[in-house]
């Protein structure tokens, strides 16, 4: 089990999909209420193997972030948006090229076979 958020209050977790819905080294998308959340699974990253970010690309206004390529640039794990190739850091959703673009990030954890996210973004 991986606790990822460093909050003091207990947070409410909700299951969004199963572990085998995830695709290793890549992303899938889950729908939670009105939000679309891109889930990236990096099984080799012991510290944090799953990341949850907004699926909406601020540049194109299309819901495509979950279909980008996961990579590492200057030490940061990033997702490259598939249409215009700008990079967002997985840890906080910040954009390397355009600081005004930012993705929301949800605390996320693996709980047995379930992938769970917190009920509100960080």
Residues of this chain that bind another protein (CB under 8 A): 16-17, 21-26, 28-31, 36, 39, 42, 44, 56, 58-64, 67-75, 77-78, 80, 82-83, 85, 87, 96-101
Q: Do residues 113 and 99 make contact, with C-beta atoms less than 8 angstroms apart? A: no
Shortest separation between residue 117's beta carbon and another protein, angstroms: 11
Q: What is the full DSSP assignment across 55-115? A: -B-TTT-SB-GGGSEEEEETTEEEEE-TTT--EEETTT-BBSS-TT-B--EE-EEEETTEE
Q: Do residues 88 and 53 make contact, with C-beta atoms less than 8 angstroms apart? A: yes
Which is nearer to another protein, 4 or 77 (by Cβ)?
Answer: 77
Which is nearer to another protein, 7 or 15 (by Cβ)?
Answer: 15
Shortest separation between residue 65's beta carbon and another protein, angstroms: 10
Which is nearer to another protein, 4 or 57 (by Cβ)?
Answer: 57
Shortest separation between residue 110's beta carbon and another protein, angstroms: 14
Shortest separation between residue 66's beta carbon and another protein, angstroms: 9
Closest CA to 97 of 110, 78, 116: 78
């Amino acid at each position: 089990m991986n606790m990822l958020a460093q909050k003091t209050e207990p947070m409410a977790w909700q299951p969004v999909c199963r572990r085998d819905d995830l695709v290793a080294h890549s992303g899938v998308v889950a729908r939670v209420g009105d939000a679309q959340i891109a889930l990236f699974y990096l099984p080799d990253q012991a510290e944090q193997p799953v990341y949850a970010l907004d699926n909406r690309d601020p540049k194109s206004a299309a819901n495509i972030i979950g279909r980008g390529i996961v990579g590492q640039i200057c030490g940061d794990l990033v997702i490259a948006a598939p249409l215009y190739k700008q990079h967002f850091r997985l840890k906080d959703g910040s954009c390397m090229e355009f600081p005004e673009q930012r993705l929301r990030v949800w605390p996320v954890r693996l709980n047995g076979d379930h992938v769970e996210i917190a009920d509100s973004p960080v």
